[in-house]
Amino acid sequence: MAEQPKPCHSIGIQWGFFWWQESSYGWIGGSGVQPPPSGETVLFSDNFNDNSFDTVKWGKYEKNTGILQEANQRLEQANPADGDQTMAYTKQSYNVKGTKGGYITAKLVNNNISEVGIMFFNTLITTQFPTADPASNGIFLSMSKGGGYLRMYKRVAGANTVLYTGTYKASSVIKIEISELNVLGLYVDDVLVFSVDWMFAWTTGYVYLHGVGWTTFVGIDYHDDFKVANYT
Ligand SMILES: [Ca+2]
Ligand SMILES: [Ca+2]
């Protein structure tokens, strides 16, 4: 049985006589402890609603017969054949942690192809998935119909470690959070499902939204409602 996730903002106040109610976002405590975040600054968001892929902010990678496009008010990952891959990557890097923590979020729909997911890597890799680079460093998430799971990994100098394995969902809103105290959190449909008191020394990186066709898991799925934000 996995350890129960702990609210990401609780770390660092465990030494004090304070507690934090995640459910209500209430704050109960004394002076000298910073309250949880109250607002946010959006660094980059895209609802993909105008059916025109924003090439100023995004680049794309398409392998074999994969086609990435903004259509039907969403970012479509068309991977019609085994071995196809598609990926959108941010052309700028973003400091997700900021000064008070922050997050990356997107809606993932995975009814057909093998997997869709979110990656956050400290380097910009445009000619292959960053998970294929033998020396890359990052966090990546796979919602996998092909594998029947949701997984979050860390990749350190090209070596993957599974941080979390959970339940496959055909449609979900995923949020990857980095708290101001470097706690890494994973939310599925606004529920915290995993957290770990670990993050890379870096918190500024590029975000990738990817899709994979594998064996019979082929077709079109999509991402939507992408956002990178810092808490204020
Ligand atoms: Ca657009
Ligand atoms: Ca949309």
In the structure encoding, which two tokens stand for residue 148, read together?
């029947």
Percent of the chain exceeding pLDDT 70 equals: 84
* Beta-carbon contacts of residue 203 (< 8 Å; ≥ 6 apart): 95, 96, 97, 178, 182
181 to 29, 35, 90, 100, 202: CA distances (angstroms): 18, 13, 25, 8, 13
| Ion ligand 2: residues, Cβ under 5 Å | 47-49, 73-74, 224
pLDDT at 11 over 80: no
| Ion ligand 1: residues, Cβ under 5 Å | 50, 52, 54
Q: Where are the domains of the chain?
A: 37-231
Pair 96, 105: CB distance under 8 Å: no
What is the predicted pLDDT for the residue at 30? 38
Ramachandran quadrant class, 86 (left: phi over 0; alpha: psi -120 to 50; beta: rest): beta
* Beta-carbon contacts of residue 149 (< 8 Å; ≥ 6 apart): 142, 165, 166, 167, 168
Query: 70: CA distance to ligand 2 center in Å?
Result: 9
- Residue 37: pLDDT band with limits 50, 70, 90: low
pLDDT tens track for 83-142: 999 999 999 999 999 999 999 999 999 999 999 999 999 999 999 999 999 999 999 999
Query: 225: CA distance to ligand 2 center in Å?
Result: 6
Query: 209: CA distance to ligand 1 center in Å?
Result: 15
Ligand nearest to the CA of 47: 2
What is the predicted pLDDT for the residue at 12? 41
35 or 105, higher pLDDT: 105
Query: 32: CA distance to ligand 1 center in Å?
Result: 44
* 37-231: CATH architecture: Sandwich (2.60)
217 or 28, higher pLDDT: 217
Query: 182: CA distance to ligand 2 center in Å?
Result: 31
Looking at residues 55-84, what average pLDDT do you find? 98
Q: How many residues does the chain have?
A: 232
What is the predicted pLDDT for the residue at 38? 79
